Amino acid sequence: TSISTFVSQLPKVELHVHIEGTLSPSLRWHLAQKNQIPLPQYPTYKSLVASYATMYNHRRELHGDNGLPTFLEAYYGGMEVLRTEEDFYDLAMEYLAKAADMNVRYADPFFDPQAHTRRGVALAAVMNGLERAKRDAKEMYGVEVDWTMCFLRDVDPSSAMETYEQALEGGFGHVFHAVGLDSNEYDRPPSLFQDIFARARKDGYWITAHCDVGQKDTHEHIREVATSCVGGLEGADRIDHGLNAIERPELIQIIKQRSLGLTLCPHAYHRRLPTEYVFGNIKRLWNEGVRITIASDDPTYMHQRWVLENLELVMYHCGFSGGDMVRLQRTGVDISWAAEDVKERIR
Ligand code: ADE
Ligand code: ZN
């Protein structure tokens, strides 16, 4: 069988996808019309779709201003059409239907509540929409899903704490099972957020944080997440990205000792880094026995590379056998935060 047939039939998990990063141009267009939000840059649907072909891989802090929107500007701009509970439900259900089509059995996507509340959207609209989608996706599509509340690291940590407490006080504590850290990593080490991580740990949530390759100080960020994210007591449960940990034996030792899982998003790196670097490092991590899983990050802002296409890239460029791919998916189940009975069922 071909790589794409094999990969599409493989039962899958997806552990690193931002739900707002799955907003399709067609749903964005529809919601803009429904909510009467002008898209002045895109007079036609066709021009909106065409804009997604642009490479949003420029980091202004690192590379200077080239006049193009950065990836994060495009991502935050896109989500402005999301306003009501129904919109968040539709966003989530569109992704989860597609996940089911790709034979994804379990997913724990991220959502960015602050990116919505700072635009005047009620937290309850976000939480209710996601809660309903979690329930319905299981029933309608057979996909198990739970949510990870991500905090914006380029925003004051007190806002993260306020958002989190507001969610718990609103009775939405059961809608998510983990907290994470995303957005612009530049000069924003995870240790700035140790209070909220400590609080979430005490409340029984899983913990993860982004440490993307190619950012400033990534190795130091990985070290913090692996060792002292929650007030110096224990590290996080997973690391999002962490590809360049392989360059530091001392980091690999900690990651292996703690059995931390890495959620890798090959196309997110491949669009800006050499093939040999990206897939060479993925293979080295795998051969080292580090627990990794392959995911998509922000598929609609990354040239429509969904988890399927990311797995195809890995099978091809890493030269993995069918057996390797099955073991890779089982590793994903192991490092997922699915309930034990769900893990049994999908393993
Ligand atoms: N938030 C959503 N997608 C992101 C990414 N690729 N990097 C940092 N923050 C993000
Ligand atoms: Zn991410």
Token digits of residue 26: 């067609």
Q: State pTM to two decimals.
A: 0.97
Residue 32 lies in a domain: no
pLDDT of res. 110: 99
Q: How far is the CA of 182 from the centre of ligand 1 (A)?
A: 6
Look at residue 257 and tell me if it is in a domain.
yes
Total tally of structural domains belonging to the chain: 1
Per residue, the 3-state secondary structure of 279-323, as one string, reads HHHHHHHHHCCCEEEECCECHHHCCCCCHHHHHHHHHHHCCCCHH
Q: Which of 72, 148, 216, 303 to mutate to test the pocket of ligand 1 (most atoms within 8 A of CB)?
A: 72
Pair 130, 124: CB distance under 8 Å: no
Q: Which ligand is nearest to the CA of 150?
A: 1
Does residue 75 lie in a domain region? Answer: no
Whether the Cβ atoms of residue 91 and residue 27 lie closer than 8 Å to each other? yes
CATH code where residue 113 lies: 3.20.20.140
Please give the share of the chain, as a percent, with pLDDT higher than 90. Answer: 90
Rounded distance from Cα 227 to ligand 2 centre (Å):
20
Checking if the pLDDT of 252 tops 70, the result is yes
Supply the pLDDT for residue 65. 78
Question: Which protein residue's CA is at the shortest distance from atom 7 of ligand 1?
Answer: 183
Q: Answer whether 220's CB lies under 8 Å from 227's CB.
A: no
Residue 127 lies in a domain: yes
Around ligand 1, the residues with Cβ closer than 6 Å are 18, 21, 75, 182-183, 210, 212, 297-298
| The pair of three-digit structure tokens given for residue 147, joined into one six-digit string | 């949510």
The 10s digit of each residue's pLDDT in 99-116 is: 999 999 999 999 999 999
Q: Is residue 300 part of a domain?
A: yes
Instruction: List the residue whose alpha carbon is closest to atom 4 of ligand 1.
Output: 183
**pLDDT value at residue 214:** 85
Is 206 domain-assigned? yes
Q: What is the pLDDT of residue 59?
A: 72
Q: Does any domain span residue 183?
A: yes
Q: Average of pLDDT values for 294-308? A: 97
* pLDDT exceeds cutoff 90 at 76: yes
- Domain that includes residue 310, residue range: 3-16+84-346
φ, ψ of residue 19 to 5 degrees: the values are: -60, -35
Question: Is 60 part of a structural domain of the chain?
Answer: no
CA distance 253 to 250: 5
Residue 56's pLDDT band, with cuts at 50, 70 and 90, is low
Residue 228 confidence class, pLDDT cut points 50, 70, 90: confident
Q: Which ligand is nearest to the CA of 241?
A: 2
Q: Is the pLDDT of residue 54 over 80?
A: no
